[in-house]
Amino acid sequence: MLHPAAAPNRRRVVVAGAGGLLSCTGLLRPAFAAGEDDGPPVVDVRGWLQRMQDAAAHRSYQGTLVFSSAGAVTSARIVHYADGAHQYECIEWLDGQMRRLYRHNESVKAVWPEHKLVLLEPRDPVTPFPALIQPQSDDRVAEHYELRHRGKDRIAGQEALVTVLRPRDGLRFAQRVWTEKNTGLPLRVEILGPRDEVLGSSAFSEVALNVKPQPEAVLQPMRRLDGYRVLRSPMTAAALEQEGWTLKPAVPGFRLVRTVKRPLEAPGAPAAEGDRQVLQAVLSDGLTHVSLFIEPYAQARHPRALHTAVGATHTAMRRHGEWWLTLVGDVPAATLRQIAQGLERRP
């Protein structure tokens, strides 16, 4: 049985969004030592963020992504085409079971060739690497992070500008971002701990920019589904209030971006007794996100409260009356606690 707590990070490779898989500090030597001054502030924060968003969404590129967290490393091949009106994307995981993710604008198909299985999914609202920043989130990022220039470097054969985003409170992690100097495309991102230790990173190990768009390279495999078992995403849109919950804004900057209901079992698995479902709420401050899962409490599955940390990703599990909460995100433990404290069950 696939517990939904594994879901937030399943697409951080596109992510992540998304989230979600982070780039390997052991494979890539940090360009800056901990404790160095960050440098001058970014004056045009909105312009810097918009340039990065536009590059990730509206330019064509392809390359290999490397992710790691706490010594675990994975990689994927990404192809992203943009022709002005449309976006086309293919992500192929290079480790473990073969899996490809195809996207044409908002249409997403996850393909497992060995099992002849296709899952039709809605596009994840959590913005993935290399996009990073969620659309229309400029003000929130500027309010809760201080941006400073950190000089120049070279990543994946490309000249890059380095920027550090420092949180203005202790409820989020700092990030160090390398962007290609001519386009603004993020080439590498590191999540930093309180002592500037690298908790995880996402990076291109090689990348080609401004490649010629080839839409049919993405559209043809999305159409050729003969012989495949096609499943539709079991997720359905939901609202916390309609499900009997109230979530107070306990952490400044974090807003609810999506709420869905989904089965506890993986798609295609035999239906469990009672067809158990979990409610998932995704919150974001524009740069990072937290997933909150709510399911009925069962002593056999939920023996005790638990908190774990793997790299930047913290997970907290706890009982809430007759319900069980699971919170997952690349945020400090205190952030998960405050979000959980803001959740109330209506009579």
How far is residue 30's CA from residue 177's CA, in Å, rounded to a whole number?
12
271 by DSSP, 3-state: which?
coil
Residues in the chain: 347
pLDDT band at 27 (very low <50, low <70, confident <90, very high): very low
How far is residue 147's CA from residue 141's CA, in Å, rounded to a whole number?
9
* Amino acid occupying residue 226: D
Judge whether residue 327 has pLDDT over 90. Answer: yes
Task: Concatenate the DSSP letters of all residues of 108-119 into one string.
Answer: EEEEEGGGTEEE
Looking at residue 9, what is its pLDDT?
38
Looking at residue 71, what is its pLDDT?
87
Tens of pLDDT, residues 247-268: 999 999 999 999 999 887 655 5
The more confident residue out of 16 and 205 is 205
Judge whether residue 67 has pLDDT over 50. Answer: yes
CATH superfamily of 234-345: MucB/RseB, C-terminal domain (3.30.200.100)
How far is residue 309's CA from residue 307's CA, in Å, rounded to a whole number?
7
Judge whether residue 65 has pLDDT over 60. Answer: yes
* Amino acid occupying residue 24: C
Q: Give the chain's mean pLDDT.
A: 86
> Would you state the CATH architecture of domain 4-223?
Clam (2.50)
Residue 136, C-beta contacts closer than 8 angstroms, at least 6 positions apart? none
Which of 289, 303, 295, 292 lies closest to 342 in space, CA to CA? 292
Judge whether residue 218 has pLDDT over 90. Answer: yes
Q: Give 64: exposed, middle or buried? Use CB within 10 Å, 0-12, 13-18, 19+.
A: middle
How far is residue 334's CA from residue 236's CA, in Å, rounded to a whole number?
30
271 CB neighbour count, 10 Å cutoff: 9
Tokens of 9: 């990070």
pLDDT band at 275 (very low <50, low <70, confident <90, very high): low
Beta-ladder partners of 294 = 279, 325
| Domain definitions of the chain by residue range | 4-223, 234-345
Backbone angles phi, psi at 224, to 5 degrees: -85, 85
Judge whether residue 10 has pLDDT over 50. Answer: no
Q: How far is CA 337 from CA 174, 274, 277, in A?
A: 19, 30, 23
Tens of pLDDT, residues 96-142: 999 999 999 999 999 999 999 999 988 877 777 887 877 767 788 99
